[in-house]
Structure 1
């Protein structure tokens, strides 16, 4: 960390508040190089030192970033300079503090910087030179569970290893299969998707392996199966747990020998196909019940990847909503800007049995019904929302450490409290701050933290 200020006493005060020996301080008339070999992750700078002789905040920030490209810049200002500090944040600074600086507030800023650094470093690792530009929107996640999924996909994509995707219906197994293929060395070859559960049992063999003319009634000509069509590429077998025992035997043979035999045929046909299978069933239980061959399961389960449910990745719910709104704005020619914060809070309390697919369908419906530019409660199914608008206690997340679980609960309560109060005050900041017992500056900071915008609460949006 580096502190740049005109007042040496302020530098010492910040160093003392942080209690860190590695805090570097400089008393400078203007930003300059630190002369240190240590990488600067956070830069605290007074407004006077930031501007110096520059009249443009943007240029002053650019000059700092030229010297400290990886630093998060926190601007310090006296009360009468708050507007300049806010302008700096709008121009790209991480946050601002006002003198005199309190230890608790300073600690919160430092924690936020570290959390942001962790998220960015993990996302940069995921992106690297690996993910294609079209895929960045999908791998951008705040969920550790989903980041773990993408790390696994990155590891296995370049191989020909068989992958088994598991997870509830609607979690995005098909999307993950496509991402795996798109980032493999087979990306220029076919990707063939087969929904095994949607094909009648009598036709599954023919669909997968093809048939010869006259193999059965109605087989008037030879037909190539999905495995032949996918030669050189990838075949995605969705709902693999639904296939019959006879198909399981042929699949096992194909996996072992890399050959197929058409229905009614006698010769083996070599196929070079990468297999990705998916299921929402407990395959171990199916094997125990004798409904699925264990030897085939072992062949398919070489590289298992479990896709978490939407309930397990609630951190991504706001971002997914934004993605779907953007998607349907293009498809439906609408201009929806977002979801009312109280509605979004209520969506957090819904169980989402249909997962991401259900969320997508709900957003599509809301975009069609909404007459304004913010998705309101009336555009959503009634059983999805809490009609009383009260804070709903969510199930305790015992899978998380106490500290993380507590923080999630506090954040959600804080956001819902502020959203309700802003709603009652029609988005008037001064009145909302007065009723909350905080300053308007504190309210603005909390609104930024929780993604709340005043325009969402103005009376005209009701």
Structure 2
């Protein structure tokens, strides 16, 4: 470690720590709360050794109750990456543990033992290295992800993606919650792709599309002769997904009998095929999703509470589009580019009136509805940008007319400025020509340009005077 701050009022403890760590980096000293704050703020401390009286002074004081969590947080706010090690007498170990439970890294006892101190330092160094590697890998994975849809300007979605990156490398069961079309399947695939099982299969099961009589067979398989029509053994989705991830979409629709069997898989990690006696091991990571309120379904007796608790280990709620409107231009442009490849077209932009309408629409179908509308418009469009004529008229019915220029934040400032000025000029000419019923001389005079200039501008923007008579 480069810099260590020793904050204790016991000179012998200070000397012992400095002696043991001599040659291992710079040591700074502080023996008063104000001095500690100053040193933490001004020195890039890697580790703080602090005794119990000084820590309690930072955690409360003479007139306030001691709050270990508040004291630790106070220091973390000033230096988030700094490790905090409590220095306590052997009779105060219980108090030291309280601080460790509230965020301190570890504790040592006084008189200071060299082996104990080195053990704590080595453990902190390893943890810092692990966190550094994890941060690097997370950043690299996120930057390497080629899907434009992962980009977001929404604080809510940034939190979702942070949770995705946190849970992906683990074996933890994930429950994805959100309305239809918000991207639950995409998020499940993202978790799988960034997990330790990424080389294994990703098996998606839409539980709502499978009849109750067949759901157990689909999930767990069946033996030959298990029921009428079972002419041969069939492997279930859990067996097919071995070594990978199984995604159970619309989990709230499965029958009670299948819920019991699924609970056994999550609790004990094994299952049997329908009509079979052999116990099979479930080597899968489970991700479930629901657009229904499973907790309410439990209260109504429609879903098993014990299964809900097993599934709800790490819930992630995906917001609706109308809660992340700042991402709508990202979606529209990502889908536009996607359909440029599929439909052999080169549509380069979106008309400002279209973007304005899209930004103010409610989107009950969420991202899926955006994709469908953009695909339809892309097929119909005959110009170099998506225009209002290629979208359903009802999209514009609820949008108040505006003279504002819709801003596409996915483009550069220069591109937005150029497009904005162009749109303002076009709208201005339309208003002038409309007010003068297409009369060129009057319109040119009102606009302060020559008739020749006006005709050139009308040609540029595809404006025919006959349309305004």
- Report TM bin, short chain: 0.5 to 0.7
Aligned mate of 1:241, from 220, 243, 252: 252
TM-score (norm 1): 0.59
Partners of 2:210 and 2:366 in 1: CA distance:
24
Q: Establish whether residue 251 from structure 1 lines up as the match of residue 254 from structure 2.
A: no
Partners of 1:135 and 1:348 in 2: CA distance:
25
Partners of 2:269 and 2:147 in 1: CA distance:
34
Shift of 1:343: 1.1
CA contact (8 A) 1:166 1:280 kept: yes
Pair 193,334 (structure 1): closer, same or farther in 2 beyond 3 Å: same
Shift of 1:199: 1.0
CA contact (8 A) 1:366 1:375 kept: yes
Q: Establish whether residue 334 from structure 1 lines up as the match of residue 345 from structure 2.
A: yes
Partners of 1:172 and 1:367 in 2: CA distance:
22
Partner of 1:425: 428
SS in 1 for 2:286: strand
Partners of 2:383 and 2:195 in 1: CA distance:
43
Question: Which deviates more from structure 2 when the two are superposed, residues 168-177 or residues 261-270?
Answer: 261-270
Partners of 1:147 and 1:378 in 2: CA distance:
34
CA contact (8 A) 1:197 1:242 kept: yes
Aligned ranges 1:1-20 → 2 under 5 Å: none
List 4+ stretches of structure 1 deviating above 2 A.
124-127, 129-139, 386-389, 416-423, 425-428
SS in 2 for 1:129: helix
Pair 423,197 (structure 1): closer, same or farther in 2 beyond 3 Å: farther
Aligned mate of 1:268, from 279, 282, 294: 279
Partners of 1:458 and 1:193 in 2: CA distance:
51
Shift of 1:382: 1.4
CA contact (8 A) 1:341 1:419 kept: no
Shift of 1:342: 1.2
CA contact (8 A) 2:176 2:288 kept: yes
Pair 167,219 (structure 1): closer, same or farther in 2 beyond 3 Å: same
Partner of 2:448: none
User: For each residue in 1:408-458, what CA deviation from the matched residue of structure 2 results, as whole angstroms up to 9, or x when unmatched?
Assistant: xxxxxx9x9988744413599xxxxxxxxxxxxxxxxxxxxxxxxxx9x95
Aligned mate of 2:323, from 312, 315, 330: 312
Aligned mate of 2:184, from 173, 198, 202: 173
CA contact (8 A) 1:208 1:226 kept: yes
Partners of 2:287 and 2:341 in 1: CA distance:
31
Pair 220,132 (structure 1): closer, same or farther in 2 beyond 3 Å: farther
Pair 351,125 (structure 1): closer, same or farther in 2 beyond 3 Å: farther
Shift of 1:335: 1.1
Pair 213,156 (structure 1): closer, same or farther in 2 beyond 3 Å: same
TM-score (norm 2): 0.58
Q: Establish whether residue 205 from structure 1 lines up as the match of residue 207 from structure 2.
A: no
Partners of 2:256 and 2:422 in 1: CA distance:
55
Partners of 1:147 and 1:362 in 2: CA distance:
25
Pair 325,265 (structure 1): closer, same or farther in 2 beyond 3 Å: same
Shift of 1:216: 0.8
SS in 2 for 1:424: helix
CA contact (8 A) 1:187 1:233 kept: yes
SS in 2 for 1:254: helix
Shift of 1:139: 2.5
Shift of 1:360: 0.3
Q: Establish whether residue 143 from structure 1 lines up as the match of residue 154 from structure 2.
A: yes
Shift of 1:392: 11
CA contact (8 A) 1:212 1:221 kept: yes
Partner of 2:195: 184
Partners of 2:460 and 2:324 in 1: CA distance:
31
CA contact (8 A) 1:181 1:191 kept: yes
CA contact (8 A) 1:226 1:235 kept: yes
Aligned mate of 1:227, from 222, 238, 244: 238
Partner of 2:461: 459
Q: Which has the larger radius of gyration?
A: 2
User: For each residue in 1:110-146, what CA deviation from the matched residue of structure 2 results, as whole angstroms up to 9, or x when unmatched?
Assistant: xxxxxxxxxxxxxx98961233624452332111111
User: For each residue in 1:56-108, what CA deviation from the matched residue of structure 2 results, as whole angstroms up to 9, or x when unmatched?
Assistant: xxxxxxxxxxxxxxxxxxxxxxxxxxxxxxxxxxxxxxxxxxxxxxxxxxxxx
SS in 1 for 2:213: helix
Pair 376,201 (structure 1): closer, same or farther in 2 beyond 3 Å: same
Aligned ranges 1:15-414 → 2 under 5 Å: 128-131=139-142, 133-135=144-146, 137-386=148-397, 390-391=401-402
CA contact (8 A) 2:360 2:399 kept: no
Partners of 1:461 and 1:337 in 2: CA distance:
21
Shift of 1:460: 3.1
Partners of 2:460 and 2:136 in 1: CA distance:
41
